[in-house]
Amino acid sequence: MGLAKKMIRITAVLLVVFLLIPLVTPVDASAYSPPRTTLRIGLNFNTTALASSNLQNEVGSGFEFGYYDANLNFTRVATTTETRLSVIIDHNMQWNASGSFSGEYVSKGTGATTAGIPAVGYLHWQINSGRTNLNDALNDIKATGATDGFVRYLTNGTFVPMYGSYTTTSARDAARRSASHTSNGGTGYTITVAATGTGRVLFEFDNGSNTARLLGIRPIGSGKLSTHYRGYRYYGGFRYQRLVNQALTVVNIVNIEDYVQGVIPYEMSNSWPLEALKAQALCARTYVISQLNKHNSYGIDVCTEMDCQVYRGRNSANATTDRAVNETAGMYITYNGALCETFYVSSHGGGSENNENIWTGTPRPYLRGVIDTYEEDPFRAGLISNYNWTSTISQASLTQRVKSAGYPNASTIVSIWVSQYTPTGNVLSVTMSDSNGRQYTFSRRAGLQAAFGASLIRTQRFNIGSVAWQQGGTIYANVPAQAIPSTSQRYVISSENGVASTTAVSGTMSAIDGAGTIKNVVGGGQGTTMGSPTGPVNGNFTLTGRGWGHSVGMSQWGAYSQARYYNRTAQQIVQHYFTGVQISKAT
């Protein structure tokens, strides 16, 4: 048998392999320049703002006090060798040794504090109107003989010499050292820094309404400095702001690479394969830059929760997660030179989705749905515990939700069905019929969650009752742009001239993936398949689904699978989930 005929037999099994294995694009030579790489991460703000928060050196030998300007540059104004600090509002604050995170100060307002327990009072004596030099202010304190002196810094550059910390006016008046000294109880903007667990004030800061200079505290010492804050360890510095008479907004000011090191082990397990962690690092770094100023009304870029990205600092970081960040340092995911918004989820359940099919808005060319079979391997290995899910809602509850969702005249819902699937097999819309024959359609993530409840719709990949989505219509090798023209033909590539030709082989189409494993080609639907109306069973409607998350972008379990079972690189993983993207290096 000739070589050409042998190749036809061999390559008949390699059906459209050239479409199934994405090309690996090198780092884009055009590069990308982020607007800034110093980030404002909101540790506590809005409803989680604090009256008291502690800092403790992990690596360091004290702290420096100063301010961050509007460009996040830090200016030092004073230092301390204390390794444990408490930043508190300027009220009567009493130490609670059994409080959260090894103790905390509790606000007493203007009320009495308990004798014998350390307290920081809001009443102080001011020696004079202030100095332009720290040493001059310290000498003013020394001249009074006060051993409880401190400096209050005003953001006009004034160092005000102060002494004392009193919770009552009688205690304050008894401690006055000169008739020229004036009582000063601070303002609604004043922030006090005390030695943790004592009544000793180290420093005060009052920016007034000036948001261009906000209190900053950073560790000092040698090595890679880090700080304990509320059970976690963080790189970088800390910025504080009081909105008038309110609690403290606490912000971690941190370099982007240090930030990503604090995201990776909380968005993925630190035991996962390196290439999966690197793919996560690329997504996390790109995503946070795409979200700069997301919560700017609170003076921060992003929060620390799933609404932004989970960020907890150094506690769970290890050599592998740090390596993932270091080996991708300064690299961003771009499309035609512009930064992408790199969404990711735990798992898709079989297929990701076009962004406009999940949220209303402009279609993003790089956020295209793809069939995702990679999750099957870790699922079969028993690694994805929450992959399959079932949600049940009573007929009465569903009816009430429909009424609350804008249809107050709806009668009892008697049947529901999927009225439109997407080409990758996710639910685009569900229609319901009530006892009067009226129909109500709910589409995309927000609509479906309004109808059923956010906790019931884990993904948009679900069936109602026993009716399942069936693949049909055009068959896709990878993404819709790579559709195979005819399901009755088999495409092969000749090894002699590289030309694609067809072979009329019937049956299931197969291909060899990047790991050399023969698999069936997975087809996509046309989005026209509809479910059949399903009524309640024992008064309940049941949804059965797969996956966990909003279905847009990268699947974390898919990334795990590709790295572990198929030896795919971070770049290949990223380019599987984000259509047509490049990996660009920051200049």
Tens-place pLDDT, residues 308-332: 999 999 999 999 999 999 999 999 9
Gap between the Cα atoms of 508 and 370, Å rounded: 20
Which residue in 258, 173, 268, 270 sits closest to 224, CA to CA? 258
Residue with tokens 């309110």: 246
pLDDT, residue 583, reads: 97
**Would you tell me the crossing angle of helices 570-577 and 274-290 to the nearest 10 degrees?**
50
pLDDT of residue 518 exceeding 60: no
Average pLDDT of 10-34? 49
Strand pairing category for 388-394 and 540-546: antiparallel
The predicted-structure confidence for 44-102, as pLDDT tens digits, reads as follows: 999 999 999 999 999 999 999 999 999 999 999 999 999 999 999 999 999 999 988 98
The neighbour count for residue 463, using CB atoms within 10 Å, is 18
pLDDT, residue 587, reads: 85
pLDDT, residue 3, reads: 35
Q: E-strand spans in 301-351?
A: 331-335, 338-339, 344-345
pLDDT of residue 433 exceeding 70: yes
Q: Are 189 and 215 in contact (CB under 8 A)?
A: no
Chain mean pLDDT for the chain: 87
pLDDT, residue 469, reads: 52
Average pLDDT of 372-400? 95
Which residue in 55, 83, 77, 59 sits closest to 221, CA to CA? 59
User: Using 50, 70 and 90 to split pLDDT, how confident is the model at 578?
Assistant: very high
Strand pairing category for 28-32 and 582-586: parallel
Gap between the Cα atoms of 299 and 57, Å rounded: 25
pLDDT, residue 465, reads: 73
pLDDT, residue 136, reads: 98
pTM of the model: 0.84
Average pLDDT of 112-131? 93
> Helical H runs in 162-309?
169-174, 256-267, 274-290
The predicted-structure confidence for 38-56, as pLDDT tens digits, reads as follows: 999 999 999 999 999 999 9
- Which run of H or of E encompasses 11? helix 3-11
pLDDT of residue 498 exceeding 70: no
pLDDT, residue 115, reads: 87
Q: Each residue of 88-119: b (16+ CB within 10 Å) or e? A: bbbbbbbbeeeeeeebbbbebeeeebeeeebb
Q: Using the 8-state DSSP alphabet, how is residue 300 labeled? A: B
Strand pairing category for 158-166 and 123-126: antiparallel
